[in-house]
């Protein structure tokens, strides 16, 4: 039996009560029911067309924008309903966009990683909704990498950005609904928030155990396997190495033209990281970093989802590159997600010291161990916001 998403629960139990109202909908191409029909079509049928205004996150309401910092323009549906981009000249809705609405529904598939911008879009959205006195209803979806494990450092507030607004670890273990509850508790003026939970969801389930269909929530998140590696390999967005964008395996391969794949994969295997194997490989990105150049590197193969530690794995890959190819390695220069001065690597890691410690010779394992107490504190804090056992 498949898990019921918050969307499905809302359609069955609450949608009819919203007939005659004016609703907004924050969604994208992955906002689907089990038969792949889009949330907007399902809501139109169930509420007699109550949805009047659409909002879209990064990559666009239709998910057509491929890369970071590629903005989506405002647009209209064929029937004339406005589609407001929340990844345009501004990342938060303007008051005029809420005019005439009675409430806003949110149906977005998160991937369980702090730097994924949908959660921050939702946080800014709730902040503006609170100012407008507009209720927000979040239709929850599973965390595809499981909701039990947490990993990484808590965000240092001095490195707050659009890829990190709240003090949560890189792998945070929240569903989108739980994260909304946590973020709302931190707003100076919380919004009127309702979360419609999933039904029959177990906290530690990975996406393959839910029975739900996967639709890529962004162009470079084609599979749940990608999402599982992402808390670690997203680190390489802040470097000169390719993280596989422009290939068929984004975030599952890491490399550059100067990397010897045999040497690299052997060094990674020698680290004996839990739940993962490395295959030497060559790949040729069609866009983004090293576009048109053959890269040597390693492919990440998760062998045990329960023991795999993606953040530790990402740091260990970075440690290996710094140790074996220090003269070739380069950091990505700003800008990154609308930040023009701070190093992208620090924004992604949410900390200004981790990379410098790695470069100075501190091992990834030592760095990870240094944040274990912070994770223990976070695990106690987040208990108040958990919806699933």
**Rounded to two decimals, what is the model's pTM?**
0.96
The predicted pLDDT at position 12 comes to 97
Mean pLDDT of each 10-residue bin along the chain, 389 residues long: 95 97 98 95 98 96 78 94 95 97 98 97 98 98 97 97 97 98 97 98 97 96 98 98 97 98 98 98 97 98 97 98 97 93 97 98 98 96 96
What is the Cα–Cα distance from 193 to 208, expressed in whole angstroms?
Answer: 29
The predicted pLDDT at position 66 comes to 72
The predicted pLDDT at position 69 comes to 65
What is the Cα–Cα distance from 7 to 14, expressed in whole angstroms?
Answer: 10
246 and 293 in contact (C-beta within 8 Å)? no
Give me the DSSP letters along 224-259: HHHHHHHHHHGGGGGBSSB-STTSSSTTTEEEETT-
The predicted pLDDT at position 270 comes to 98
The predicted pLDDT at position 5 comes to 98
What is the Cα–Cα distance from 201 to 327, expressed in whole angstroms?
Answer: 48
Which residue in the block uniquely carries the two structure tokens 């739980």? 178
Q: Which domains does the chain have, with CATH numbers?
A: 6-213 (3.40.50.12170), 224-369 (3.90.1150.140)
| H or E stretch covering 262 | helix 261-270
End-to-end, the C-alpha distance of the chain in Å comes to 18
What share of the chain has pLDDT > 90, as a percent?
96
β-strand pairing of 75-76 with 51-56: unpaired
What is the Cα–Cα distance from 140 to 109, expressed in whole angstroms?
Answer: 8
Q: Which tokens sit at 138? A: 């979040």
């Amino acid at each position: 039996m498949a898990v019921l998403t918050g969307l499905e629960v809302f359609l069955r139990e609450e949608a009819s009560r919203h007939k005659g109202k004016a609703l907004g909908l924050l969604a994208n191409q992955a906002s689907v029911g089990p038969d792949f029909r889009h949330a907007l079509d399902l809501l139109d049928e169930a509420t007699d067309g109550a949805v009047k205004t659409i909002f879209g996150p990064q990559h666009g309401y239709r998910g057509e924008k491929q890369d970071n910092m590629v903005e989506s323009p405002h647009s209209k549906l064929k029937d004339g309903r406005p589609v407001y981009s929340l990844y345009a000249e501004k990342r938060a809705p303007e008051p005029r966009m809420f005019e005439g609405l009675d409430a806003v529904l949110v149906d977005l598939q998160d991937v369980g990683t702090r730097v994924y911008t949908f959660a921050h879009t939702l946080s800014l959205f709730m902040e503006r909704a609170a100012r407008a006195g507009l209720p927000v209803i979040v239709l929850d979806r599973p965390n595809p990498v499981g909701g039990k494990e947490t990993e990484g450092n808590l965000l240092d507030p001095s490195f707050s950005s659009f890829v990190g607004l709240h003090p949560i670890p890189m792998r945070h273990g929240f569903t989108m609904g739980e994260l909304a509850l946590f973020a709302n508790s931190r707003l100076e003026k919380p919004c009127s928030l309702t979360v419609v939970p999933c039904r029959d969801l177990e906290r530690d389930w990975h996406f393959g155990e839910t029975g739900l269909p996967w639709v890529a929530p962004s162009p470079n998140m084609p599979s749940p396997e990608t999402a599982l590696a992402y808390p670690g390999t997203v680190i390489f967005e802040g470097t000169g190495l390719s993280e596989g964008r422009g290939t068929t395996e984004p975030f599952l391969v890491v490399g550059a033209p100067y990397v010897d794949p045999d040497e690299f994969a052997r060094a990674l295997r020698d680290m004996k990281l839990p739940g993962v194997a490395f295959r030497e490989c060559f790949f040729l990105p069609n866009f983004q970093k090293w576009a048109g150049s053959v890269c040597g590197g390693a492919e990440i193969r998760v062998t045990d989802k329960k023991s795999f530690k993606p953040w530790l794995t990402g740091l260990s890959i970075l440690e290996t590159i710094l140790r074996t190819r220090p003269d070739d390695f380069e950091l990505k220069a700003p800008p990154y997600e609308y930040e023009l001065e701070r190093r992208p690597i620090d924004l992604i890691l949410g900390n200004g010291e981790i990379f410098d410690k790695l470069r100075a010779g501190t091992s990834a394992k030592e760095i990870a161990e240094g944040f274990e107490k912070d994770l223990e504190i976070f695990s106690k804090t987040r208990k108040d916001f958990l919806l699933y056992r």
